[in-house]
Structure 1
Amino acid sequence: MKAIKVIDKKPVLLDVPVPKTEGVKIKVVSSSICGSDIHMIAQGAFGDHVIGHEFSGLTEDGRAVAIEPVTGCGQCGSCDEGHRIHCEAGLFVMGVLGDGGMAEYVTVPAANLVVLPTGLDVRIASLIEPLAVAVHGLDRARVRESDRVLVIGAGPIGLATGAALRSRKISYDIVARHDHQKVAAEKLGAGFHYDGHYDVVIDAVGSSASLQQSAEMIKPLGRIGLVGISWIHLELEQGFYAKEPELIPSLGYNCSYPNRNFDEAAMILLRHPDVSDCLVTHRFPLDGVTEAFATAADRAGGAIKVVFDVA
């Protein structure tokens, strides 16, 4: 089968055996590129496995599913509470530490399958994973309808956060760097009226500069939700402490009912079809791997979310 691996810090398409490991066999339909994939490729972080942790597909009995790529032992307290990312047996993410979804087939644990709601197109369901990240970030930051909210960053996670806020009927402003991001954000209900004194700032960038901007825009004793992942050392300037904000990092998602973030993310896509139209800017077959990753890395060139159409 066709699959994408990383060799010498470059994503390449290879012919590899169809997986025969224990689990449910999935015919992958859609797999998308995450910004973390690009950073990890540059750092040489991937081993000899198929990459891709945002994917959806079909089981052998025809069910359309999205896949939670974070696995767990299923026996510890963290797993019981749905926080597989804190599993006491250690962190394992499909597509990062083991085979993932940029392939024609993949096998996954049954517990990681999320059956799509009726009417949701499996071809856009790879977006459920980043939307679940956004949903979890809002939950961690304890965002309420009465809060004044600012999102800093209008890449895939920032826009996904905006989509989740709109779905929850919470108004928000957003800071977007590029014109095409501003257009997408406006379609997702964002405002651009910055005056500081926000109850909650969601930092979807994860840099020292964005944290400084968060501190400038937050009201005293407000909450800063950090959903953007930093790949370098972060610095906090002295002024950050003056307002005594809460800094609330967020990573991954809750994986257990009734708070399963993938379920809310799937419903956002089902109820708001324009979300996929706003997020997905480019589509490629697997054999377009080189162009796809180059496109995804060029945010200034118009890319938001780049998706592989696998089947």
Structure 2
Amino acid sequence: MAANLDGQLVVAISSRALFDFEEENRVFEAALTGAPAPGAEAGAVPGRPHDDAYMKLQLERLDVPAKPGVAFSLVKKLLAFNTDAKRVEVVMLSRNDPVSGLRVFRSADVNKLKLERGVFTKGRPPYNYLRALQANLFLSANPDDVRAALDAGFAAATVATHSVHAKSTYPNEVRIAFDGDAVLFSDQAERVFQRNGLDAFQKHERKLAAKPLPPGPFMPLLQALHRLQQAGTPHMRIRTALVTARSAPAHERAIRTLMDWNIEVDEAMFLGGLAKGEFLREFEPDFFFDDQTGHVHSAAQHVPSGHVASGVANPQA
């Protein structure tokens, strides 16, 4: 019988999101532009998606394990749900070449991450494989790939590679924090705020308090995490938080929407425009998702963060 991923939480992740490949990426970027880069040889052909110098550098470092990246803690903890049954699948989905893929899998093995599957596209966009993988989440450092994944209907975020890494305070909890509008919920209410201001937004949300918001791109992921929690192991649990700029009275519609979905979050922070970073520092998530780049950059000073290029705050170019 053929293997399948039915019923599993599937996370597709790029090599830069999982491991610290920033030095190698500088060589990669130089190959795209033809600019000189660390490790580039005289005579290497510039301008190709993968310059000879980049592949050579990865091959030379094949036995040098890459350091953990921004999403490492999230992945490691999710895989810990597989103690007695296969509940989580993490798949490498990367623009890197197969040679670099060798180093990724070796680095995973050294770091005791059980990764079995990977797709390496040698410079081509990889997001079109998400459907075949039945992916619940795609994490990448490439914003174009993330935007394309979101447009195709997948929960996806651009990892802020400058983020601080997760702390180890809660080794038996996967902690994930979500923004509300344009992330868990649609941007329906956010459009009212952008168009007419805060007072109109508050009146709109008070009037529609009993009407659930349409789902946003990350609602299916929250559902999948809820199922994982219910089917999970006593050794690991999931703790979620809603961290939103909403305040009373607009908080009610957000809570009622979650109730309508029959999904609970463990913590809810209605901050009324306060900076989210310090609150996230106290929650200590393994990852935080937000649609506003300003919030992501602020949060990245305290916790691993990713940008969800969704909704009215992220118009198509």
Per the normalisation by structure 2, the TM-score is 0.27
Identify the structure with the greater strand proportion.
1
